[in-house]
């Protein structure tokens, strides 16, 4: 008897919850499409690619200087082993080769440090730009949802941790994607953050 009463009470609670949910007005947005269609995303990508090219150019110059220094080390080492030279001259060249080798190792350390710093800087700027853009788009979505009287807006392309779709079906009648893109792009006079992130923002919604 008690079990029957418990089951009945649970059924009442579930029915009430379902009824409340049924009264909610729900919309969907393709957040990936909105993200890609936002003018600040394209501008951030452009700036980040330019910064990436600047880093690559600097690294290329450093590697060229390393190759030149390596050639100097090899030449000095070869001369220091020339039996036709006096002991004094060979010792002088050997010392010179050791000095150049120390300089080469220092250059290699600087190259490695620069490469790591550049990659970290670009990654940090990428993350910062992505977070700023998502925050701005979330504000646009919230504003539109309040205006239209929606209680909830879901990302139609979001996926679970198991890489399965979170929303299995949507009629598309309450899809705000295109309207959100239009609203977000109305304020193209807005300025971008001075330090956006790396080439390709790498946005993956709902992960």
Query: CA 170 to CA 172: how far, in whole Å?
Result: 5
Which CA distances in Å does 168 have to 18, 61, 84, 156? Answer: 18, 52, 83, 9
The Cα angle at residue 51 between residues 114 and 204, in degrees rounded to 5: 100
Residue ranges, the chain, pLDDT below 70: 1-22, 187-207
- 164 SS3 class: coil
pLDDT of amino acid 199: 37
Q: Is this structure's pTM higher than 0.75? A: no
Taking the alpha carbons at both ends of the chain, their separation in whole angstroms is 46
What are the residue ranges spanned by the domains of the chain? 24-187
Distance CA 136, CA 34 (A): 11
Q: Please report the pLDDT score of residue 200 as a whole number.
A: 52
| Bridge partners (DSSP) listed for residue 159 | 165
Q: Which tokens in the block code for residue 164?
A: 């399965």
pLDDT of residue 204: 53
């Amino acid at each position: 008897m008690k079990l029957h009463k418990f089951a009945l009470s649970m059924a009442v609670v579930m029915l009430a919850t379902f009824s409340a949910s049924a009264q909610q007005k729900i919309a969907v947005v393709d957040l990936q499409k909105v993200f890609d269609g936002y003018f600040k995303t394209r501008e951030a990508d452009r700036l980040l690619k330019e910064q990436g090219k600047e880093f690559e150019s600097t690294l290329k110059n450093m590697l060229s200087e390393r190759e030149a220094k390596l050639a100097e080390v090899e030449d000095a080492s070869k001369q220091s082993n020339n039996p036709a030279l006096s002991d004094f001259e060979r010792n002088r060249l050997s010392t010179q080769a050791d000095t150049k080798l120390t300089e080469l190792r220092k250059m290699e350390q600087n190259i490695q440090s620069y490469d790591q710093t550049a990659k970290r800087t670009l990654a940090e700027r990428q993350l910062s730009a992505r977070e700023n853009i998502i925050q701005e788009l979330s504000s646009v979505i919230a504003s539109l949802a309040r205006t239209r009287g929606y209680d909830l807006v879901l990302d139609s392309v979001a996926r679970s941790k198991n890489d399965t779709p979170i929303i299995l079906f949507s009629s598309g009648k309450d899809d705000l994607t295109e309207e959100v893109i239009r609203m977000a792009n109305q304020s193209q006079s807005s300025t971008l953050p001075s330090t956006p992130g790396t080439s390709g923002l790498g946005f993956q919604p709902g992960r």
